Chain A
Amino acid sequence: MDQFSDIKRMANQIATAFAAYPEEQAVKETANHIKSFWDPRMRKQLAEVMAKEASALNPVAFAAGKQLGLG
């Protein structure tokens, strides 16, 4: 358990939920979801994870973060 474990879990869970969709759409839905439901400070934490520990993120979650301009 580290400071970001919940953020990583949550981002990956969202990406996984859209995994059955074509990748482009999955990225878009994940990005939308994060934008609609996450407080800005959580998005900032996601940006930190992307910078420091990208490998902990599912590729769709990472791409969604990129699309949101987080990293």
Chain B
Amino acid sequence: MHTLIKEIDYGTPKSEATRMVTLEIDGQSVTVPEGTSIMRAAMELGTKIPKLCATDSMKSFGSCRLCLVEIEGRKGTPASCTTPVAPGLKVKTQTDHLADLRKGVMELYISDHPLDCLTCAANGDCELQDMAGAVGLREVRYGYEGDNHVFAKNNGSENFRYQPKDESNPYFTFDPSKCIVCSRCVRACEEVQGTFALTIDGRGFASHVSAGMDEDFLASECVSCGACVQACPTATLTEKSIIDKGQPDHSVVTTCAYCGVGCSFKAEMKGDEVVRMMPYKDGGANEGHSCVKGRFAWGYATHQNRMLKPMLREKFTDPWREVSWDEAIDFTAKRFLEIQAKHGIGSIGGITSSRCTNEEVYVVQKMIRAAFHNNNVDTCARVCHSPTGYGLRQTFGTSAGTQDFKSVDKSDVILIIGANPTDAHPVFASRMKKRLRDGAKLIVIDPRRTDIVRSPHIEAQYHLPLLPGTNVAIFNAFAHVVVTEGLVKRDYVAERCDLEDFARWEKFISDPKNSPEALEAITGVLAADVRGAARLFATGGNGAIYYGLGVTEHSQGSTMVMAMANLAMATGNIGRDGVGVNPLRGQNNVQGSCDMGSFPHEFTGYRHVADNTVRDLFEKLWNVELDAEPGLRIPNMFNAAIEGTFKGLFVQGEDIAQSDPNTKHVNSALESLECLVVQDLFLNETAAFAHVFLPGTSFLEKDGTFTNAERRINRVRPVMAPKQGMQEWEVVARIATAMGYPMGYTTESEIMDEIARVTPTFAGVSFEKLDRLGSVQWPCNDAAPEGTPIMHIGKFVRGKGRFMVTEFVPTDERTNRFFPLILTTGRILSQYNVGAQTRRTANVAWHPEDVLEIHPHDAEERGIKDGAMVSLTSRVGAITLRAVIADRMPQGVVYTTFHHPVTGANVITTNNSDWATNCPEYKVTAVQVTVSNRPSDWQAEWEQRETEHKRVAIKPLVAAE
């Protein structure tokens, strides 16, 4: 069946050169791009030259001297990893002389290496072992009596060279006694990850690998990405799961279920147990790299808290009762139908999940439109990237980012606003940092000095610490500079954009009220800096904008997305490699869940429900009449629930009670529902109010596709059977059927075929094609059968690019005497969103609680000491948490994360929202901070709910036989 996939290691990276060179290796002719190493050229022929310090994910280093070759007409024995090919070379990879030299090298290595191969964790996956075999090493003439790194004691006395194992990292160990000092780990940390946590300390025989300043790994800057572990040819750096369980015997390629980068992994298995997740070299999004979440934090899938039985209860204050699937499905269908009979067709609805597959999401929205007969379907993207969809559609014509991730390799000026890629999109951040180290310029617009502003070998040309809520103002100022200083790319605009809209915009933006000087007081950013940054962006070559939720989660989120699109068009930065407007998506399948028709006004592929032709197509295929009116969005559902017109809700894999703003408001909406159905892995915060719990599947059990932030459709493949016995889409299809709308899919691939049939941008997508090509980026159809990495080449999807007037309107959420500070929220690397998964892994080693970051001056004024408990109060609520004094915060702004439910960060966020999409204004809340030593009322309430509303009834004991 499945084998263990091992990608070919060519030894050195691929050359991007176009000129080809032909040479001869061991008498065989080979043609490769200029700049290729001899080692790589040999591998192209299938000749493995022995090597230890080279691997193709990093530049060659030439330190182990094992890869020596002979070249006709050249003296000596050059290292094949560092010697580039040249036309007409005649290379010999194996001669008696070379064999002797290699044996000598190996003998030296082995003489300082413990020979416990049989019990070593790397046994079966050790390059040192392989090389000893390859060079035919048969004896080691030097003993261990001398200087070594292997034994704690030498001739009875302390061996000062010996270092004990470092087991501080929860996921891997570092055993220096096995290190051959090849420096692959050091270079992986620098070149692949970009963290520079490792160095080789000392010289000659004293040299050794050190994390940080000779600290343990956990205490160092290490972010636990795993790149060094993957690169290490020996057992020095080894996953603890491999030490515990042994080497895997087969693997399946699948996709990480955490963030919108969508990394491909090999799930390496023994039976149906995962022993390791290894980033997959041929994955389009990550090309062999990973972050701590995808690489290591998959243990939640088998966590003891996971629920595997369907459960019911009459009232949410009752304990849960385990039932059969049939009973749960019938109960749900019956309740929903009863509610509709009593309160009308529009009184129920559902929410799809950005964590589920495209196929699962499609089936849920279909159930709502076809079986509920209304359009009350929304998705959690409402609360994150809905403004992206709206804004980019208005200006460019598609609700998606314009580039692939690779495009950043060609950028000259990178502008990051409202995003923190090193924490939230780590694998993409590594790519970006690589380009920045190679010379691209960086502009960061963020209230906080995020890590990327100043990191090893990277220094932003501009960091503009604007006040939260003034994004549109600062972008208008940027555009004002571009327009009034004559930096608009006129030819581009004339050819590609609607000129009437451009003229209107040009007039608006040239108004002195939009000048950096006029807006200085509003944004808090020096006009001179804005001018400098705007000039750099407009004139520095390929300019690319990357943004995140710091852009969308504002009252003017949609306006801001359009402001970015305006700037990109005006500077000619759309439609080729290296440029673009790029949303960094939060969850793994945000893009997909939006594409799949999860919004209340749109079918798949973003087509309005009022469009008769489109609706007709669906009505014919689905064989049902469909509603032409838009349905309720998530915040509207909450309001309608409180008003009493909305009574039943189906929630797929989403914790709205924790993730949505103004928790009190959300909770009272949920309390007023007559039937709340939650489909999830865990009894989450929302489930505390639910009547039906349908256990879900983890990504390790799912079969389907995720679509990442670059529109890349990746396969998710199951490595084990559903632990609760049924695929999620099957449960949904059965509920729809029980409600009178038969849905009879048999496989996920069949669902994708239907999606392709009804969605023009997916017309060419099928499981067969994805399995063949690895992945494709939509649009994928007859015009682009292998997908579209970069959009709007030559022409915008909507025809002419449309400049939109983007008037700055300050938010209603203002500071005053009582609430003098602004709270903004975000996330950190090791935890993921509401933390339901990561909190159930060893990742808590890095982030055991949410803390409040506060500027030293603001803290001092309030008598707050570092580490003190403080109360954080807004107009709608109060919570208690720990304060951390941080000078990366500007004065007047405080910051926290929302990974732990007990913190209740959303207890204090408000109902305010984006004007166009109702995306909540998470990023701006006026607050006060005071010293406090008791938990907030809300926290006490939460503790109570945690115990009472999540009870599962103890089954009556069956009498013993």
**Residues of A with Cβ closer than 8 Å to B?**
3, 6, 9-10, 13-14, 16-17, 19-21, 33, 36-42
Contact = CB atoms under 8 A, between A and B. Distances in A.
A57 to B, nearest CB: 14
A49 to B, nearest CB: 14
A16 B555 CA distance: 11
Contacts, number: 60
Contacts of B608: 36
Nearest to B811: A13
A21 B600 CA distance: 27
A10 B643 CA distance: 17
Contact of A3 (B346, B610, B643, B918): B643
Contacts of B845: none
A6 B610 contact: no
A21 to B, nearest CB: 6
A17 B558 CA distance: 10
Given A19-B807, A21-B805, A39 B915 contact: no
Contact of B915 (A3, A17, A40, A42): A17
Interface stretch (B36-44, B80-88, B566-574, B624-632): B624-632
Given A16-B915, A17-B559, A20-B508, A39 B636 contact: yes
B807 A20 contact: yes
B5 interface: no
Residue from A9, A14, A36, A39 whose CB has the most chain B CB atoms within 10 Å: A39
B812 A36 contact: no
Nearest to A16: B809
A10 B915 contact: yes
Contacts of B645: 41
B601 A37 contact: yes
Interface in B631-690: 631-633, 635-636, 639-640, 643, 645
A6 B639 contact: yes
B521 interface: no
B911 interface: yes
Nearest to A38: B630
A36 B630 contact: yes
A20 B805 contact: yes
B916 interface: yes
A40 B346 CA distance: 10
B812 A9 contact: yes
A52 to B, nearest CB: 16
B402 to A, nearest CB: 23
Contacts of A33: 916
A37 B608 CA distance: 10
Contacts of A21: 805
Contact of B632 (A6, A9, A20, A39): A39
B918 A41 contact: no
Given A14-B916, A36-B630, A39-B629, 13 more contacts: A3-B643, A10-B913, A14-B915, A16-B807, A17-B915, A19-B807, A20-B805, A37-B630, A37-B916, A39-B632, A39-B640, A40-B346, A41-B645
Given A16-B915, A17-B915, A33-B916, A39 B600 contact: yes
Interface of B: 346, 376, 508, 555-556, 558-559, 600-601, 608, 610, 629-633, 635-636, 639-640, 643, 645, 805, 807, 809, 812, 911-913, 915-918
A36 B915 contact: no
24 contacts: A6-B635, A6-B639, A9-B812, A9-B912, A13-B555, A14-B915, A16-B807, A16-B809, A16-B915, A17-B559, A17-B809, A17-B915, A19-B807, A20-B807, A33-B916, A36-B630, A37-B630, A37-B633, A37-B916, A37-B917, A38-B630, A39-B346, A39-B631, A41-B640
A9 B636 CA distance: 13
Nearest to A41: B645
Contacts of B631: 39
Nearest to B608: A36
B130 to A, nearest CB: 61
A36 B558 CA distance: 16
A18 B291 CA distance: 42
Contacts of B633: 37, 39
Nearest to B505: A20
A19 B508 CA distance: 12
Contacts of B629: 39-40
A41 B374 CA distance: 13
Contacts of A19: 807, 809
Contacts of B558: 17
A7 B932 CA distance: 37
B448 to A, nearest CB: 27
A13 B805 contact: no
B662 to A, nearest CB: 11
Contacts of B805: 20-21
A10 B812 CA distance: 12
Contacts of A9: 812, 912
Residue from A9, A10, A17, A20 whose CB has the most chain B CB atoms within 10 Å: A17
B745 to A, nearest CB: 29
A10 B918 contact: yes
Contacts of A40: 346, 629
Nearest to B600: A39
